[in-house]
């Protein structure tokens, strides 16, 4: 276990200390009135922690407070880690971004695109364009999520047992074969839909590296960065640090415990799209590596130019998410934002209606967690809590405006 502590005086880091306290006071109200069980906030400038605060409980029933070493299900904040893993292999020549996914997962050679009809009797046609690796990295593959509930293809996933997670008896290869057998929402590369793309990318990492995804993460990313508490399982000796998971009731209160057992050993199908548990210390190490353009404390995972390339908008035609995305998938506005290789990228802060810097990277998780990396301001922020679903409250947008108003 690694400890967290303030590493630079907030004023020295460019923050007004009084204005920083506004952030804590604002989100303390979320705990006081029951909207959140508890939370942890870490803000760093130039890689050094300038603000670290906690509030509320990691387990309400047990009366256990959120602590600096508490563990959280980070869900889709797993995706940038999987994307980094893939790009590490890309740097080694394991594949090109334009390579068909079927080169690594043969079942993807015969994908079909939905053209009409109900979920139990869909009409389809063969895809004209293969699903390529860059489609997985950018969520332009045509794959979907069962929990979206927006389209018959989403319902097909639910019918097959893919709403939140996958059947327990299948390994990742089996899960990806199932995904390949279900119709795509659209022709690959023509639109954007938040999806299981990054889970499929995790399988590409396994095949290209000859290692399980957990082993690749551990040996190539976690151990080099000192991320000692991140993994697909929580060992028995760490279970008391794991925060409980909550769902909001009809009044928006985090009053309903949600069953989400975290395994003590890794599951058969390792979800590169949402399977990791982590800590503030560990995710801060990861965001600091991104801020360092691929390196941290003398350890380099990616080349500088690779990170800069990942941080550009890769959406078709250079459009923004609000112009191309199928449905809403977050409480955060998507105007002014593109999508890079693994995360959202701010291009136009005015269109986004928030203070931000072009080139800022961000994403979040199903349980209302969030992070962003602002290279121009050398700013990183990590917010951890456990309320499903994200979007119940405007946490991310408010967090953003309140941190930037403190930066003077």
Residues 3-20: pLDDT tens digits? 899 999 999 999 999 999
Cis peptide before 389 (omega within 30 of 0): yes
SS3 state of residue 353:
coil
Q: Does the pLDDT of residue 304 top 70, yes or no?
A: yes
| Per-residue CA distances from 328 to 93, 231, 311 (Å) | 36, 29, 22
Q: 106-115, 176-185, 264-273: which has the minimum mean pLDDT? A: 264-273
Transcribe 175-234 into DSSP letters: HHHHHHHSPBSS-TTSSB---THHHHHHHHHHHHHTS-HHHHIIIIIIHHHT-TT-BSS-
Once rounded to an integer, what is the mean pLDDT over residues 304-310?
98
SS3 state of residue 157:
helix
Q: Name the DSSP letter for residue 15.
A: B
User: Is 51:10 a contact under the CB 8 Å cutoff?
Assistant: yes
SS3 state of residue 137:
helix
Q: What is the mean pLDDT of the chain?
A: 94
How far is the first Cα of the chain from the last one, in angstroms, to the nearest whole number?
Answer: 34
pTM of this structure: 0.96
Q: Does the pLDDT of residue 332 top 60, yes or no?
A: no
Residues 70-97: pLDDT tens digits? 999 999 999 999 999 999 999 999 999 9
Once rounded to an integer, what is the mean pLDDT over residues 324-343?
80
Q: Does the pLDDT of residue 217 top 60, yes or no?
A: yes
- Write down all domains in the chain, each with its CATH number in brackets: 17-84+211-405 (3.40.710.10), 97-209 (1.20.58)
Per-residue pLDDT at 229 = 97
Per-residue pLDDT at 249 = 86
| Per-residue CA distances from 364 to 267, 308, 361, 368, 372 (Å) | 23, 20, 11, 7, 9
- Alpha-carbon gap, residue 18 to 255, rounded angstroms: 32
Once rounded to an integer, what is the mean pLDDT over residues 340-356?
93
Once rounded to an integer, what is the mean pLDDT over residues 357-375?
96
Residues 232-271: pLDDT tens digits? 999 999 999 999 999 988 888 877 787 766 878 889 999 9
Once rounded to an integer, what is the mean pLDDT over residues 124-132?
97
Q: Does the pLDDT of residue 54 top 60, yes or no?
A: yes
Q: How confident is the model at residue 333 (pLDDT cuts 50, 70, 90)?
A: low
Q: 241-250, 341-350, 387-396: which has the minimum mean pLDDT? A: 387-396
């Amino acid at each position: 276990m690694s400890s967290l502590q303030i590493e630079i005086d907030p004023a020295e880091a460019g923050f007004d200390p009084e204005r920083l306290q506004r952030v804590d006071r604002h989100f303390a109200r979320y705990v006081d009135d029951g909207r959140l069980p508890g939370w942890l906030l870490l803000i760093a400038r130039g890689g050094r922690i300038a603000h670290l605060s906690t509030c509320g409980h990691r387990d309400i029933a047990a009366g256990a407070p959120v602590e600096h070493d508490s563990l959280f299900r980070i869900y889709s904040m797993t995706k940038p880690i999987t994307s980094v893993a893939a790009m590490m292999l890309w740097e080694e020549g394991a594949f090109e971004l334009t390579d068909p996914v079927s080169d690594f997962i043969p079942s993807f050679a015969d994908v079909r695109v939905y053209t009409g009809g109900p979920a139990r009797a869909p009409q389809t046609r063969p895809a004209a364009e293969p699903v390529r690796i860059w489609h997985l990295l950018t969520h332009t593959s045509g794959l979907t999520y069962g929990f979206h509930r927006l389209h018959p293809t989403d319902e097909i996933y639910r019918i097959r047992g893919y709403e939140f997670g996958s059947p327990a008896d299948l390994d990742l290869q089996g899960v990806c074969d199932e995904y390949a057998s279900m119709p795509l929402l659209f022709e690959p590369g023509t639109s954007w839909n938040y999806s299981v793309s990054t889970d499929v990318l995790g399988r590409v990492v396994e095949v290209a590296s000859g290692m399980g995804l957990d082993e690749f993460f551990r040996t190539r990313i976690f151990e080099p960065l000192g991320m000692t508490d991140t993994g697909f399982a929580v060992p028995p000796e760490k279970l008391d640090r794991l925060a409980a998971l909550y769902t909001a009731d009809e009044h928006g209160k985090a009053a309903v415990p949600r069953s989400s057992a975290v395994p003590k050993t890794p599951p058969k199908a390792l979800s590169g799209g949402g399977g990791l548990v982590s800590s503030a210390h560990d995710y801060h190490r990861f965001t600091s590596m991104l801020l360092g353009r691929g390196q941290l404390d003398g350890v380099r995972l990616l080349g500088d130019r690779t990170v800069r390339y990942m941080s550009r908008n890769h959406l078709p035609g250079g459009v923004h998410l609000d112009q191309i995305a199928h449905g809403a998938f977050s409480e955060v506005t998507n105007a002014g934002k593109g999508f890079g290789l693994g995360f959202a990228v701010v291009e136009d802060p005015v269109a986004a209606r928030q203070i931000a810097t072009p080139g800022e990277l961000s994403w979040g998780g199903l349980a209302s967690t969030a992070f962003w990396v602002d290279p121009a301001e050398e700013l990183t922020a990590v917010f951890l809590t456990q309320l499903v679903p994200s979007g119940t409250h405007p946490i991310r947008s408010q967090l953003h405006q309140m941190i930037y108003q403190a930066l003077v």
